[in-house]
Chain A
Amino acid sequence: MNIFIFGLVNSVILALIASGFALVYGVSRLANFAHGALYILVGFATWLFLNRLGINYIGSIFLSIVIVSIIGGAIYRFFLIRVKGMPASEIIASLSIGIAIMELFRWRGFIGEAYMLPPFVTGSVSIAGVMIDWQRLIIIGIGLAMMLSLWLFTHHTKVGLSLRAIAQDKRASMMSGIDPDRTAVIGLAMGSALAGVAAVVILPLGSITVETGYMVLTDAIAVCIIGGLGSWMGVLAGAFLLGFSQILATAFIGPHWQMVVVLLFIILTLILKPSGLLGRQKELEERV
């Protein structure tokens, strides 16, 4: 039971982290290496609004998510749009923008235990004999709600449908009057907002550090590779596979083995099924 509940929490955390990355890659075939930077940007921004400017918690969360989605959209509109279609340049440009943001925080002295967000609800509750704090339950709730709303958004609204159309067939959707650049801006803004939601929900579990940004990036990429780049359900599948096996490894081998599990899964996925668990659409294209 212990394993089940904490595995669920861990899986939802991974899915939350990876969904923003997967959304951006799915829409515009752009690997957004600034994902981790946007994640901690939200964390620090919320902390600043809360503690320096004295805005209340809900307000500062809302404000920082709005700001980060504008920043995400601006990164695409003003920088990445110029290197569109050159995968190498896209990766290098977004990675260096991300590193610049993260190292800027390190320079300003945002290091250490002092930067913590308070949990939404303090205290803990006992479910089937397992003590679990409310914040972890909220993570599961918000994670599942976000998956559901994302699904509804991409299947039943005009903007969401145009995002999927661009992801599936760029030319055909351009003929139907969908502007790929505007869609990509929306996609990146939404991806950043998702990173922001993940950040404000997950960060109260620990402190905000610059290293978290790098960890989030590697975790997001790991989940996407295992589940299949550009596949929506693949992210869920990858997150649950990785999340539960990390908790199993912690329970039966030792807490230090979490990273080895990630590494192992990536290598195994690349050898056995390079397109990932559920990545179908690019299978023929990726393998030369």
Chain B
Amino acid sequence: MSLPTVAFVLGLLIIPLAVTSMAWQKIIIIACIFAFLALSFDFLAHFVGIVCLGGAFFTGVGGYISGLLNSAFGLPLVITIPIATIGGAVICTLFLLPCLPMRGIYFAIVSLMYPLLFARVIQALNIFGGTDGLPGLATFPNIWVELYLILPLILLLTFGLRRLVNEDFGMVLRAIKDNDQAVKASNINITWFKMKAVFLAAAIGCFSGAYLAHLYGWVGLSLFALDFSIFPIAATVVGGVGTLVGPVIGALILTLFSEMLREFGPLRVVFYSLILAGLVILNTGGLVPYLQRKYHQFERWTEI
């Protein structure tokens, strides 16, 4: 393992021990949730070529499934979270399936619309607790369980996805991104492959939704809030697109930044959407590719 990898792994595992107050540990958890969503966005956008603006759709579906199972049937969270992850991913994939055969902006548009529409449907039909949500869900026993459930999973997913995109399966996905016609000409069903990729990304998103539901012990319409769609994209762009490590680092940085701006209230959304717009328009590579470049320059210089 190279030095940056070791630093990343150890850093992520040690952060919660280094900070002392409970409030900061909670902030780390929130950062991890956004890191999950950012990972799923980065995976879909830069390895499959699907721009998904619906992070909130995944968190909402996952959260509501796990909340309903917990409040209606009294299942413990050890069971509800896995069910919500898999079941939610199946539901999300089925809803997004119609726009998978299409190129262009359909997927982005539809995935942006679903969370807004679902929130309004729940509100209008007054199902699943309506505007009040479902309170009184089971919570985790203590903060160390919360922390050390999610941190190793982040590491697992980061390195797992990095390995996956270099396997045969990932090769097909990246080929779909570059030239879908050629993949189709090789007698590969691209919709099937895209579906599997969306399932994977949706499972990541649904897990973070279910986790969030049990973290607060409450499920509500705020799980469909636009923050869960836009913040992870900002994190990905800050950290570095197409690197899979970048989104995690970007989420940590951006959450820290957002905590510092806590006193501004709703203005925080304005800040990070402006950051996002600025970075996208200026087309900066992001933090991680920049550091990678510097690191490799440095390494070569010492060896010769």
A interface residue numbers (CB < 8 A to B): 31, 33, 79-80, 82-83, 87-89, 91-93, 95-97, 99-100, 103-104, 106-107, 214-215, 218, 221-222, 225, 256-260, 262-263, 266-267, 270-271, 274, 282, 285-288
Contact = CB atoms under 8 A, between A and B. Distances in A.
User: 4 nearest interchain CB pairs?
Assistant: A270-B98, A256-B124, A96-B273, A96-B277
Contact of A91 (B99, B105, B273): B105
A214 B237 CA distance: 24
Interface in B93-115: 95, 98-99, 101-106, 108-110, 112-113
Interface of B: 45, 51, 53, 95, 98-99, 101-106, 108-110, 112-113, 116-118, 120-121, 124-126, 180-181, 184, 190, 226, 230, 233-234, 237, 264-267, 269-270, 273-274, 276-277, 280-283
Contacts of A103: 266-267, 269-270, 273
Contacts of B233: 92
Contacts of A215: 116, 120
Given A96-B280, A256-B126, A271-B98, 17 more contacts: A31-B105, A91-B53, A99-B270, A103-B269, A221-B113, A256-B124, A257-B124, A263-B121, A267-B95, A267-B98, A270-B98, A270-B102, A270-B110, A274-B102, A286-B104, A287-B103, A288-B103
Contacts of B180: 288
A99 B273 contact: yes
A225 B120 CA distance: 19
Given A99-B269, A100-B277, A263-B121, A88 B51 contact: yes
Contacts of A31: 105, 108-109
Contacts, number: 137
A275 B266 CA distance: 38
Given A92-B233, A107-B270, A263-B121, A288 B113 contact: no
A263 B114 CA distance: 8
Contacts of B190: 288
A2 B226 CA distance: 37
A107 B265 contact: yes
Given A91-B53, A103-B267, A107-B265, A96 B110 contact: no
B270 A89 contact: no
Nearest to A267: B98
A259 B277 contact: no
A31 B110 CA distance: 12
A129 B9 CA distance: 73
Contacts of B106: 225, 270, 274, 286
Contacts of B273: 96-97, 99-100, 103
Contacts of B124: 256-260
A225 B117 CA distance: 15
B270 A95 contact: no
Contact of A288 (B125, B184, B283): B184
Nearest to A99: B273
Contacts of A257: 124-125
Contact of B230 (A99, A270, A271): A99
B291 to A, nearest CB: 22
A107 B267 contact: yes
Nearest to A33: B112
A225 B109 contact: yes
Contacts of A89: 280-281, 283
B39 to A, nearest CB: 17
Given A91-B108, A99-B226, A286-B104, A218 B53 contact: no
A99 B267 CA distance: 11
A130 to B, nearest CB: 25
Contacts of A93: 276-277, 280-281
B101 A288 contact: yes
A42 to B, nearest CB: 19
A106 B265 CA distance: 10
Contact of B105 (A87, A96, A256, A287): A87
A256 B125 contact: yes
Contact of B102 (A92, A256, A287): A287
B270 A100 contact: yes
A263 B95 CA distance: 10
